[in-house]
Structure 1
Amino acid sequence: MKIIIVGAGEVGYNIAGRLASENKQVIVIDKNPDAVRRLSENLDIQVITASGSNPKVLIDAGINETDILLAVTDQDETNLVACLITDLISPTTKKLVRLRDADFDSYHERFKKEAPHIDTVINPEIEVVNTIRKLMEVPGAVDVGDFVDGQVKYIGIRLDKNSPMAGIRLIDFPAEFGEERPLIAAIIRGNKVIVPRGGNKLEPGDLVYFVCETIKLEKTLKLFGKKIQPIQNALIIGGGRIGERLAKRLEQDNIKTKIIESDINRCHYLSEQMDKTVVLHGDGSDQKLFLEENAGQSDVVVSVTDDDETNILVSLLAKNLGVQNTITRIGKSSYSPLLATIGLEKVVNPRLSAVSSILQNVRKGKVLSDISIFGERGEFIEAIALETSDITNKPLKKISFPKGALLVCIIREGQIMIPAGDSSVKPGDRIIMFAVKHAVKKLEKLLTVKLDFF
């Protein structure tokens, strides 16, 4: 697979590194020499210092032999022009475009159907707002996401020492919890990702990822000693694009919302855009303002300014005032491993959201969603089982799954099944898998073509 990436910013850098680690042929184009130098020094890929929207540059890069073009610069217009030129030169190349401006939202579907034909539009900010909203719905969770059009959820939750699951081997879950038992997909212990087997025990302090039907979520959370608590009011720190989108979403859900924004001109703009949200001008990290606005009484405090340090400080301040549910936007990957140690576990990252959106469109086979967790060290992959795949029409115990990969569940005609050794996947089944980073390439091969063909 050959992939051209236009844009060497954070998203371009990280998706290039991810794809290069899977031995895909990657070329990155960017006119910023410093950004290009960073890639060439750290990644084993080809780089070109030029404009990715220039037709000659794209032709010289081999766009006619390219499977996928990813246009992910910080400039929406540059991304659109790159896709337009690619569509003219190489119509068969799959085109993915990153668009951040909300004014383009209503045109996403038209881009897919009309010229220039664009296969997928990616807006990380929409994905981040969706993630924040899901985290609000499950206050005890560190990570939340959907499969099967929302019928199935995955949840990451920290195991308390008083949990009835602590110390129980997974093989004993059916006897202990019956049909209501959660489907454990991954265990994060310390800095290690564990793909669970029957002999593994859950230990207090583990970050446990499980999968369950959405309608059974409340019962499953009780087994972890957690419960769903409806959100009635929210405080948002930062009135940028993410803060604005989130406030409008919360207004639709009839949640009382306040935004604190430091830019007075932005405050005036937000006041005109909002129907019920209260817009306040001030420094979100100002403890006096927090006390005046009774921030400690908020059901959730969401800090989404453009500054990571401010977001961390705000969340710590909210925690100190007694807010249990804080959500922190982080842009720098280097901060992620440190935040859990200071009590900030609900973290959203626009870059990771963009990477996950891109990966599901890059994966071979009929992949419906691809979600990275724990600093991209693990992936949930939801796919349709193909007739040509080696995973179909044989008992699972006879399939050589890559080490570090696990078939989490099978969905057939609306029925969600926990797989056992004698279970088999039928063509057309939806399947959800989990894999650590090094196992993804082999799992991808397993999903596409029968291994007998190699």
Structure 2
Amino acid sequence: MKIIIVGAGEVGYNIASRLASENKQVIVIDKNPDAVRRLSERLDVQVILASGSNPKTLIDAGIKETDILLAVTDSDETNLVTCLMADLISPTTKKLARIRNSDFDSYYDRFKKENPHIDTIINPEIEVVNTIKRLMVVPGAVDVGDFADGRVKYVGIRLDRHSPMAGMKLFDFSLKFGEDRPLIAAIIRNNEVIVPKGDNNIESGDLIYFVSETEKLEKMLTLFGKKIIPIQRALIIGGGRIGERLAKSFETDSIKTKIIESDIGRCHYLSERMEKTVVLHGDGSDQKLFLEENCGQNDVVVSVTNDDETNILVSLLAKNMGVKNTITRIGKSTYFPLLATIGIEKVVSPRLSAVSSILKEVRKGKVLSDMSILGGRGEFIEAIALETSDITDQPLKKISFPKGAILVCILRNGQIMIPAGNSVVNPNDRIIMFAVKHAVKKLEKLLTVKLDFF
């Protein structure tokens, strides 16, 4: 598979790193010499120092032989022009574009149906807002995602010593919890990802990723000593595009909302666009302002400024004032391993959201969703089992699953099934799998029809 990536920023760099590690042919185009140098020194990819929206550049890069074009620069306009030129030169190349400005929202359908015929529009800010709303509902969860059109969720939650599961082996779950037992997909202990087996213990302090039917989630959370709490009051720090989208969504949900924004001009803009949200001008990391606004009375504090350090400080201040539900936007991937050690676990990242959206479109087989977790060290993959793929029509115990991958559950005729050794995946079943980074390439082969038609 040949992939051209236009844009060598954080999103372009990280998706190039993931795809290159899976031995895909990757070409990255950017006109920034520093960004191009960074890629050429660190990744095994071809780089071109030029404008990706230039037709000659695309032709020289081999756009006519390219399977997928990813336009992920920081400029929406550049991404649109890049896709337009690619469509004129190579109409069969699949095109994905990152578009963030909300002024383009109403044109998405036309971008797909008319020139430039963009196959997939990626707006990581919309995905971040959706992630924030999922995280808010379960205060004890550090990660929440949806499968099967919202009928199934995965949840990452820290196990405390009061949970009835603490100290148990996984093969004892069936006897103790019966059919309502959690479907454990991954255990994170001492910053190591463990793909679970029956003889694995789960211990107090482990970060557990499990899968549950949405309608059974509340009952499942009681096993972890957690519960779903309705959100009535919210404080947003940062009135940029994400803060604005989030506040509008909160207004629709009748959540009493305040935004603190440091730019006075942006405050005036937000005041004109909001109907019920209270817009305050000030420094979101100012402890005095937090006290004046009774920060501790909010059900959730969400910090989504463009500065990682500010967001971290805000979340720590909010926690110090008694807010248990804090959500922090982080852009720099180097921060991810350190955050849990200082008590910040609910983290959202536009970069990771964009990477997840892109991976779904790049994966072979009939992949419905692909969600990166733990800073990209693991992936949940939801797919349709294809008739002639290696995963169908034989007991799971006879299938050679790659080390570091696990089939979490099977969805058939609206029913969720817990897989066992004798379970058989039928063609057209929905399946949900978890894999650590190094196992994804081999897992792809299981999902692909034998002649690679999909």
TM-score normalized by the length of structure 2: 0.99
Superposition pairs of residues 131-142 of structure 1, within 5 angstroms: 131-142=131-142
Q: Which residue of 2 aligns with 1:146?
A: 146
Partner residue in 2 for 1:362: 362
In structure 1, distance between residues paired with 2:336 and 2:116: 38
User: How far 1:451 moved relative to its partner?
Assistant: 9.6
How many Å separate the matches in 2 of 1:398 and 1:18?
29
Secondary structure of the 2:184 match is strand
- Aligned-pair CA distance for 1:36: 0.3
Task: Write the distance in 1 (CA, Å) between the matches of 2:174 and 2:425.
Answer: 22
- Cα deviation for residue 112 of structure 1 reads 1.5
Q: CA deviation at 1:47?
A: 0.2
Structure 2 residue ranges without an equivalent (≥5): none
Q: Deviations over 1:240-277 (max 9, x none)?
A: 00000000000000000000000001000000000100
Structure 1 residue 110: deviation in Å?
Answer: 1.8
* TM-superposed deviation, 1:111: 1.4
- Rounded Cα–Cα distance in structure 2 between residues aligned with 1:146 and 1:126: 15
CA–CA separation in structure 1 for the residues paired with 2:173 and 2:110: 49
1:144-203 CA-partner distances (Å, limit 9, x unpaired):
000000000000000001110001111010111111111000000011000000000110
- Find the counterpart in structure 2 of residue 10 from structure 1: 10
CA distance in 2, matches of 1:48, 1:28: 6
- Whichever residue aligns with residue 260 of structure 2, its letter is I
Quote the residue 2:327 is aligned against.
327
Paired position in structure 2 for 1:219 = 219
2:219 and 2:447 map into 1 onto residues whose CA distance is 33
How big is each residue's C-alpha offset from its partner over 1:208-257, in whole Å with a ceiling of 9 and x where there is no partner? 00000000000000011100110110000000000000000000000000
Q: Which residue of 2 aligns with 1:130?
A: 130
Paired residue type of 1:149:
D
Q: Please give the residue correspondences for 1:8-407 in structure 2 after superposition, counting only pairs within 5 Å.
A: 8-407=8-407
Q: Give 1:29 deviation, angstroms.
A: 0.3
Cα distance, 1:115–1:452 mapped onto 2, change above 3 Å: closer
Which structure 1 segments of 5+ residues have no match?
Answer: none
CA distance in 2, matches of 1:68, 1:311: 35
Partners of 2:260 and 2:416 lie apart in 1 by: 43
CA deviation string 1:337-362 (max 9, x = no partner) = 11100000000011000000000000
Q: 1:410 & 1:109 partners in 2: Cα distance? A: 33
SS at match of 1:375: helix
Q: 1:13 to 1:428 in 2, by over 3 A?
A: same
The whole-number CA distance in structure 1 between the counterparts of 2:242 and 2:41 is: 33
Distance 1:399 1:315 in 2: 45
| 2: CA distance, partners of 1:39 / 1:110 | 34
- Which residue identity does 2:225 align to in structure 1? G
**Shift of residue 452, structure 1, vs aligned partner:** 12
CA contact (8 A) 1:264 1:281 kept: yes
- Whole-angstrom CA distance in 2 between matches of 1:449 and 1:405: 19
Matched residue type, 1:211: V
The aligned counterpart of 2:420 is 420
One-letter code of the match for 2:127? E
* Alpha-carbon separation, structure 2, partners of 1:29 and 1:216: 47
Shift of 1:388: 1.9
Normalising by the residue count of structure 1, what TM-score does the alignment of the two structures yield?
0.99
3-state SS, counterpart of residue 401 of structure 2 = coil
Deviation at 1:109, TM superposition (A): 1.8
Figure out how many residues of one structure are paired with residues of the other and give that number: 453
* Percentage of pairs with the same residue: 83
Report the counterpart of residue 431 of structure 1 in structure 2: 431
What is the DSSP-based 3-state SS (H/G/I as helix, E as strand, rest coil) of the residue aligned with 2:386? coil
- Determine if contact 1:390/1:451 at 8 Å carries over to the other structure: no
Question: Counterpart of 1:104 in structure 2: which amino acid?
Answer: F
Query: What amino acid does structure 2 have at the position aligned with 1:389?
Result: S
Deviation of 1:449 after TM superposition, in Å, equals 2.9
1 CA distance for matches of 2:223 and 2:445? Answer: 36
Aligned Cα root-mean-square deviation (Å): 1.1
Amino acid at match of 2:115: A
